[in-house]
Each structure stands twice: as C-alpha cells, then as structure tokens.
Amino acid sequence: MVVIGAGPAGEKAAAQAAYFGRSVAIVERERRPGGAAVLNAGVPTKTLRETALYITGFRARNVYGIGLELDPYAALSHLRSRTDQVVKTMTQAVEDNIARHGIKLICGIARLGPDRSVLVDCEDGTSRLLKPEVIVIATGSRPFHPPDVPFEDPDIEDSESVIGIERPLRSIVVVGGGAVGCEYASIFAALGVEVTLVDSASRLLPFMDAEISDLLASVFRKMGLRVLLGAGRASVEREPAGLKLTLASGEVIRPEKVLFAAGRAGNTEGLGLTEAGVETDERGRVLVDDHFRTTANGIYAAGDVIGPPALASVSMEQGRVAACHALGIAFKETVDPLPPFGVYSIPEVAMVGLTEEAARARGLVYEIGRAWFARNTRATIAGQPEGLLKLVFDRADKRLLGVHILGTSAAELIHQGQAVLHFAGTIDYFIHSTFNVPTESEAYKYAAYDGLQRLVSPKHGD
C-alpha cells in the first residue's frame, strides 16, 4: 500500500496496514510528517491557547485579583518558543511511530499515474515510480480562501499563517464563528488584544446545541470580546491609513489585522485525480463511499481531504478503517458513529450525540438536565465557574441521547457521556455512580438529578 500524506489519517492508515504485516510506504511533501494537525493547525493552536493562559495568569484573574503583565515582545517570544517545542516533540513522535512499524517514508511530491501507480518527484531531485496494490489519498486540507479576500496583504491572515505573527497586536477582527474562529478569538482576548468576532450566522458554532452556542457568546462578551452575529458578509480592503473592514450594515472597523476563518479546502491540486478517475467536489474534496473507496478502483481516501467533520480524531479512525477495507483486514470495519466534538476555545465546548434541536427534528419526546459549574465545588475552587453540563435524554425510558458541555475541561469530560451513549445507557447510570468529590465530573450526577426532577415537574429550573 502507498499512502499519500503523513497527517493523522495517513499515518494511522499506514500503521494499521503495517501492523498486520503489509508492506507500506508513505509519500509526504513536507520535510517532516504530521500534517496540519501537528505542523500548523491543531497542535500549534492548542499550544498557543495553553501558553497564553499560563503566561498571562488569565484563569486566576477573577480568583486572586492578579495577572501577569509581560512585555508584549517577551510574551510573543514565549508563545512561539513553546509552540515550536511542542510541534518538534509531536513531530518526532509521528516519525518514531512510522519507523517503529517499518514504514518507508518518502519525501516528495506525489501524483497518480496510469495503472494505479504513484509517481514521486523526490526532494533530492530524483523520481520514483511506485506500483502498489492499493493507494490511500490522505493529503489533508488547507484554509479556504474566498476569492474576494486579498490574502496577499501581509495583515490578512488565515488559520495557518496567523501562527507566524511576528509582532504584538493591539486589535484584530476574526471573521468566522466556527471552531477555528472561536478558538483564535478567545486566545487573542486572553492575550489582551482588542478582538471583534464577526459571523454572518445568527449564532456561534451552528453545529452545537443552541443553548451552548448562545452561552458561549455571552461568556465571550464578558471576557471583553465584541461578538457581532448575523452581520452578513464582511469585505476588507487596504487603504493608506491601514485595513478597512466593512460590514453589511455599513459599519467600518479598522483593525491592525484580520483573520479569516472560512472553512477548509481539500489538498488535491497536482495529484492527477481526474486522469485517474477520482472524482472531487467543488472544494476539491475527494468523494468516497462508506468503505472510503473513491470512484477509481483500488484507490481510497480518508481524513480532511474527504471533507467534514475534519477532526484529527475522526481522520485517524477513517485512515484505519480505509486501510482495513483496502487490504481485506478483518479488524476495523466502521468509524465510530458517535464521535465527540471538541472546540478548544476559552472556555472549551464539547458535544456528543443529539442536540436539543436534532432530537426535536426527529420527533423524539425528550427532556434535559443541567448542572451549572457555578454550583460545582471543583470549578468554584479553581475559579472557573463559567458554563454547564447538559444532558438530553428520552422522556419515556431515560435513555441518554446527547451530552453538551461548556466549561474549562469540556473536551475531557465529554468522554464519560460518550461511553454511556455507546452502551445505550440511561441517565440512571450517573445517578447510581460514585464520583470523586470535588471533581467537575460529578456535574453528570447533578445534571441527571435535574433531569429526573423535570420528569416530575417539566418547568423545574427554567
């Protein structure tokens, strides 16, 4: 098997095949493996987040009334050095995993050739012809650039280029209220930058539970962010005085920088997909079936290159499942139908299963249970009272349908709810379980009790 791309999907597809004794090579155009998740998106963003919280004392400001006032250039230096250190560590972990499985890593630019071959223009100037039984395309994605946005301007950034900001900022406008936009907007706010978050939608994170989305916007505003929703399409241009961003309302904002977080597009240019019979959509994303087969025989695809949800966690599973189907390995046949979603904003947001809106659309008779972190002992001790844990469950049998969390540890806490969903459990599981005290996890118990009370008195707590 030849895998094109060494990001999460490509690395795990290759490792899965090699684990079962297959001969595998990965072709990667970058000098080091890891893909966007390690090199310029997932890991760097999350590292920036943690470093910003640490060096500013952001989390402790409301508890102890103190924060750190670092020289802006020193703060930026700390941010970049820590990010570089973590990226280097995680890249080495990917390299070690590839070597441990005996996978051949070829540095070069790949394209599909005739008769299911792969032509590689290697970094050293040579060329190679590979003739595998199967090919897995895992070339990932890149930030989508709307054609009317002048990204050639040095002060207009996308979600990857913003990592390389070289000077402290006073102000920034973030266009896009999705996961990436919310993450960067809150990170910059924690660093003391004046942030305006603009989105044409009526709420942030439209795939999340509406109550959670609305609460996140409220928390952002309390942090000092200006959140403009339903703002229509924003346009930006360069004037002698600097950047000029114009909203649909006619309002003009003059920020130091603008970050456009407008989704992602598949990395498929130059792969020779059309000639090989591999179909793509309008954003260059490869079309696949339930087994991750493309429209060309013997060619599979997985990860961001096939489109949403574009989560590293899901991409890894897609790569493993694609490899098993491609090589007839009876091990992993399907991708988890209940993956958790995590947004690493400040605070975090996470969900698994059905939202209230989705349950209503399916005609389900459901109920909810809430536990507010303002009443949670551990969150109070830590001075992190924002948010809640919310359960959505069936009124008839109390079967859990979904879990939605806004809070400091949301991305970690969500997995407990995911486990109960996988086993078709009820909220009684949380009632009868013993949780360490004090922990944020015990919010599950109090959300379940709140839900039970609503079964008796539906208006309870509203």
In one-letter notation, the amino acid at residue 100 is R
Q: What is the rounded CA–CA span in Å between residue 112 and residue 188?
A: 42
Evaluated on CA atoms 31, 32, 36, 39, the torsion sign reads negative
Residue 385 tokens read as: 């009272």
Tell me how far the alpha carbon of residue 85 is from its chain's centroid: 21
Task: Bin 192: left if φ > 0, else alpha if -120 < ψ < 50, else beta.
Answer: left
The segments of the chain whose pLDDT lies below 70 read 36-42, 55-76, 78, 458-462
pLDDT on residue 105? 94
Q: What is the rounded CA–CA span in Å between residue 284 and residue 239?
A: 33
pLDDT on residue 266? 85
β-pairing verdict for 366-372 and 127-130 = unpaired
Q: Considering the chain, what is the average pLDDT of its residues?
A: 89
Q: What is the rounded CA–CA span in Å between residue 320 and residue 326?
A: 10
pLDDT on residue 84? 77
Q: What is the rounded CA–CA span in Å between residue 408 and residue 385?
A: 9
Q: What is the rounded CA–CA span in Å between residue 20 and residue 402?
A: 36
Q: What is the rounded CA–CA span in Å between residue 461 and residue 446?
A: 12
- CA distances to 135, 280, 306, 315 from 286, rounded to whole Å, are 13, 4, 5, 14
Residue where the block lists tokens 């260059």: 284
Domains observed in the chain:
2-143+265-327 (3.50.50.60), 156-261 (3.50.50.60), 347-456 (3.30.390.30)
Q: Could you please report the per-residue DSSP string of 104-124? A: EEEEEEEEEETTTEEEEEETT
3-state secondary structure of 35: helix
Residue 410 tokens read as: 């949301």
Q: How many other C-beta atoms are found inside a 10 Å radius of the C-beta of residue 169?
A: 18
pLDDT in tens, 433-445: 999 999 999 999 9
Residue 371 tokens read as: 């536990």
Phi, psi of 431 (to 5 degrees): -65, -45
Residue 320 tokens read as: 């493993």
DSSP state of 14: H
Q: What is the rounded CA–CA span in Å between residue 322 and residue 302?
A: 7
In one-letter notation, the amino acid at residue 371 is A
- CA distances to 93, 96, 235, 312 from 89, rounded to whole Å, are 6, 11, 39, 17
In one-letter notation, the amino acid at residue 35 is G
Instruction: Report which of 141, 158, 138 is spatially closest to residue 266, judged by C-alpha positions.
Output: 141
Residue 53 tokens read as: 């919280």
- Long-range interactions of 332-335: CB distance < 8 A, separation 24+: 332/16
